[in-house]
């Protein structure tokens, strides 16, 4: 148990498998959670998990009025807010062919919205004597990857937002951190790779634990950063990446296997 009993959490990107796992864990520890997502395709499925201990709100994380209403709903229904999680993201990326409009949309979703969510959450967190903010970043913010530019740039910015936010909000007893998942089983991954076996075989090339993460493993890291167990952690990143960022150019020895020495 991480001490989330009675805690109230608000999270964007609520339609993902990670958010669903987060809700299960928060509620399992006796907490409450309000999930927000602009896509209602998985709203009913998620509400079944939430029961009376949460809510699923449909709206856009780039809409300030929606963020205001989501925070107000959580505070009104459950008596306050102890933590916020920003997990909404867009993966649209055409490298240097990305238009200005698409760049601005991606930055609005991936970096500006987390900042505004935090800004709006601060008064609620202060009412509880402090709290925690978690931004879901990515290994992409640390390493260049083929066929990606916009997403990694925005996630790298998110890492710095947490560092500066941790410094700025420390006097208010509000901790700000990022969590960087490695490749994780998700609805998008299932659409791209089909079976979990095929997805794990793909991830095994660059995650030394030899598989993709389970959504629940990422959710556990988020819960930790939200909890009193992480009370002296702020302005930093927790990598839940199966060893991805520990690997150098030689990776798991694949070059030596493919090009053995004479």
Alpha-carbon span 244 to 126, nearest angstrom: 36
Cβ atoms of 131 and 7 closer than 8 Å: no
The per-residue DSSP string of 124-138 comes to: HHHHTT-EEEEEE--
First to last CA, the chain: 54
| Catalytic position from the list 42, 124, 135, 151 | 151
Other Cβ atoms within 10 Å of 173 Cβ, number: 15
Nearest by Cα to 84 from 221, 261, 222, 246: 222
Alpha-carbon span 157 to 6, nearest angstrom: 32
Annotated active-site residue 96? The verdict is: no
Q: Residue 23 has which token pair?
A: 């809700």
The side-by-side arrangement of strands in the sheet containing 8-12 is: 54-58, 32-37, 8-12, 83-86, 131-136, 174-181, 237-240
- DSSP bridge partners of 180: 239
Residues 6+ apart with CB under 8 A from 243: 182, 207, 208, 209
Catalytic residues: 151
């Amino acid at each position: 148990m991480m001490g989330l009993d009675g805690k109230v959490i608000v999270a964007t990107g609520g339609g993902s498998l990670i958010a669903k796992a987060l809700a299960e864990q928060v509620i399992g520890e006796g907490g409450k959670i309000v999930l927000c997502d602009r896509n209602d395709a998985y709203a009913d499925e998620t509400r079944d998990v939430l029961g009376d201990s949460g809510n699923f709100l449909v709206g856009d994380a780039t809409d300030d009025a929606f963020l205001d209403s989501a925070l107000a709903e959580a505070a009104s229904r459950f008596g306050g807010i102890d933590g916020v999680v920003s997990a909404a993201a867009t993966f649209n990326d055409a490298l240097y062919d990305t238009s200005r409009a698409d760049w601005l949309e991606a930055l609005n979703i991936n970096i500006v919205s987390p900042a505004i969510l935090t800004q709006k959450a601060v008064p609620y967190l202060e009412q509880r004597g402090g709290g925690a903010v978690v931004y879901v970043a990515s290994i992409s913010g640390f390493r260049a990857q083929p066929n990606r530019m916009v997403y990694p740039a925005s996630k790298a910015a998110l890492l710095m937002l947490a560092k500066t936010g941790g410094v700025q909000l420390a006097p208010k007893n509000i901790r700000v951190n990022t969590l960087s998942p490695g490749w994780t089983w998700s609805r998008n991954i299932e659409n791209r790779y089909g079976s979990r076996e095929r997805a794990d075989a793909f991830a095994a090339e660059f995650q030394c634990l030899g598989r993709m993460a389970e959504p629940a493993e990422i959710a556990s890291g988020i819960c930790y950063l939200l909890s009193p167990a992480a009370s002296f952690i702020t302005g930093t990143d927790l990598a839940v990446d199966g060893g991805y960022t520990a690997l150098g150019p030689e990776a798991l020895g694949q070059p030596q296997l493919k090009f053995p020495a004479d």
